[in-house]
């Protein structure tokens, strides 16, 4: 469970239980200070650029190594600044990544277990599914369920989803598989 903290934004108070930051504290100069001040669990997502430029920034020197270095650097900054709450790793499916890179990321998801932190996967109805299947986001539920199951098998601890019931079915199936075999 997450303990909420009160944050003031534009003169209003909000109860904050977790910070989900798709920018890795890059897009807002006050984000890092807010993370440190609030001391609530923090979702650190990998991305490059901003929403207007990220899809043109899909070139990497060494794809997985570059992303691992990103997380290492960001976590080090957070810890040096005194952040002592849980950090959740989100590899950033769809953010500055091609369809092929997204599938590589999914295949190698267990690599991120090196951070000894929960891994969050948000692939629900994303283009990596519907582009591959030649459908639309609205028609991507079956592919989403399949990939959520793969993500769980590869080490995901948290799924960010649109379709809660279907995701929970994947969770229950994977939990049963693990309970009944030498997974």
Q: Looking at the annotation, which residues are catalytic? A: 126, 160
β-partners of residue 158 are 120
Residue with tokens 């534009």: 10
Q: How does DSSP classify residue 17?
A: S
Residue 140 CA: distances (Å) to CA of 28, 126, 158: 32, 8, 20
Q: What is the C-alpha separation between 121 and 98, in angstroms, rounded?
A: 16
Query: What are residue 44's phi and psi, to 5 degrees?
Result: -100, 115
Residue with tokens 């277990």: 113
The residues near 116 (Cβ < 8 Å, ≥ 6 apart) are none
CA 21 to chain centre: 9
β-partners of residue 119 are 89
Q: Is 39 left (phi over 0), alpha (psi -120 to 50) or beta?
A: left
């Amino acid at each position: 469970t997450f303990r909420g903290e009160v944050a003031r934004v534009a003169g209003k108070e909000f109860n904050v239980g977790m910070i989900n930051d798709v920018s890795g504290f890059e897009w807002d100069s006050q984000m890092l200070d807010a993370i440190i001040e609030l001391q609530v669990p923090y979702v650190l997502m990998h991305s490059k650029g901003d929403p207007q430029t990220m899809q043109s920034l899909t070139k990497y020197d060494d794809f997985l190594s570059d992303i691992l270095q990103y997380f290492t650097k960001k976590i080090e900054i957070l810890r040096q600044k005194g952040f002592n709450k849980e950090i959740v790793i989100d590899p950033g499916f769809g953010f500055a990544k091609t369809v092929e890179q997204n599938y590589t990321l999914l295949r190698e998801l267990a690599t991120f277990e090196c951070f000894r932190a929960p891994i969050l996967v948000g692939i629900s109805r994303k283009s990596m599914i519907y582009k591959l299947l030649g459908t639309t986001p609205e028609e991507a539920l079956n592919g989403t369920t399949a990939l959520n199951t793969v993500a769980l098998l590869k080490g995901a601890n948290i799924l960010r989803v649109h379709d809660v019931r279907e995701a929970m079915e994947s969770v229950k199936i994977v939990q049963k598989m693990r309970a009944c075999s030498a997974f």
